[in-house]
Structure 1
Amino acid sequence: MENELLFRQAEARDLDKIVKMLADDPLGKTRENYRHPLPKQYIKAFEAIQSDPNNELMVAVLEGDIIGVLQITFTPYITHQGGWRATIEGVRTDESVRGKGIGTKMITWAIERAKTRNCHLVQLTTDKSRTDALRFYENLGFKATHEGLKLKFNRC
């Protein structure tokens, strides 16, 4: 890609595009609710993220268009001598740019961001059914060193 890829904090006006990218995925189709107007829970979540200095919802912008999104959460831990960790979640690229290196640039940017926040490690999870995503992250140096577990609650 010849043009410069920019990263910036998401703004309220970006929320529609962000949710659309999150829903444009086999798993996202089953768990997101992309419609107009957006359900209020997306707006509430966005506001909570924006008000938390340890959460950053970032968009990747190319030629004025949002083409990627990810969220980074910075968490202090007592373990590792009181170290901080960065957790990357909700990584998506627009289908128009998939396979063009945008995801690599996004994750590389997030790793550098974690370093500026003095994190001792970056962690992320991806669904086990996402074999391409697992290979992608492994190619960027991530190692499957832990087994992750989740306990889901039914929403009201």
Structure 2
Amino acid sequence: MNPVQIRPAHLTDETTIYQFICDLEETTLDQSTFQGIYRQNLINPAIHYLVAEQQGNVVGFVSCHVQLLLHHGGKVGEIQELFVQSLVRNQGIGQQLVAALKAIAVQEQFINLEVTTNQKRTDTIRFYEREAFHRTHIKLVYPIPS
């Protein structure tokens, strides 16, 4: 197993992360829209983008959006995306990405670090439960008609 380095994402990681998110969502996203959002979020101090790099290649990505929430009385970080390339899964890379976010959460004094995932992603749910996340909420979604 090759060593993994966790670091903040850079502008140069955009194409790789675009492909990761398309793979994660099992669709092809509009690249121009993605690019605008990625670049805006990359400079937002309330959004953390981290990548896992192995032998000079980006093999994983995690994003965390931080909000000051009234009902929590403080900062809450929410993992929005976590992706590890299939060829390097089960090597602890996802755990390292989450551990790096947990360290940021402690440093920035979050109240909670949260994640929401689709209920069909049973492997993902098991992963987060192994990482000491607890099922406490049910998320309801209202799709806005276009």
| TM-score greater than 0.5 by the shorter chain | yes
Identity of aligned residues (%): 24
- Show structure 2 runs of 5+ residues with no match: none
Structure-2 residue corresponding to 1:17: 16
Q: TM-score, normalised by structure 2?
A: 0.91
Structure-2 residue corresponding to 1:7: 6
Structure-2 residue corresponding to 1:29: 26
> Is the 2:2–2:54 Cα contact (8 Å) retained in structure 1?
no
Q: In 1, distance between residues paired with 2:109 and 2:65?
A: 13
How many residues are paired up? 146
Following superposition, the deviation at residue 154 of structure 1 comes to 4.2
Q: In 2, distance between residues paired with 1:112 and 1:60?
A: 15
Q: Which runs of 4+ in 1 moved over 6 A?
A: none
Following superposition, the deviation at residue 51 of structure 1 comes to 2.7
Q: In 1, distance between residues paired with 2:51 and 2:142?
A: 29
Q: In 2, distance between residues paired with 1:65 and 1:39?
A: 21
The structure 1 residue matched to 2:58, chosen from 46, 59, 66, is 66
Structure possessing the higher relative contact order (Cα contacts under 8 Å, 6 or more residues apart): 2
Query: In angstroms, what is the RMSD of aligned CA positions?
Result: 1.6
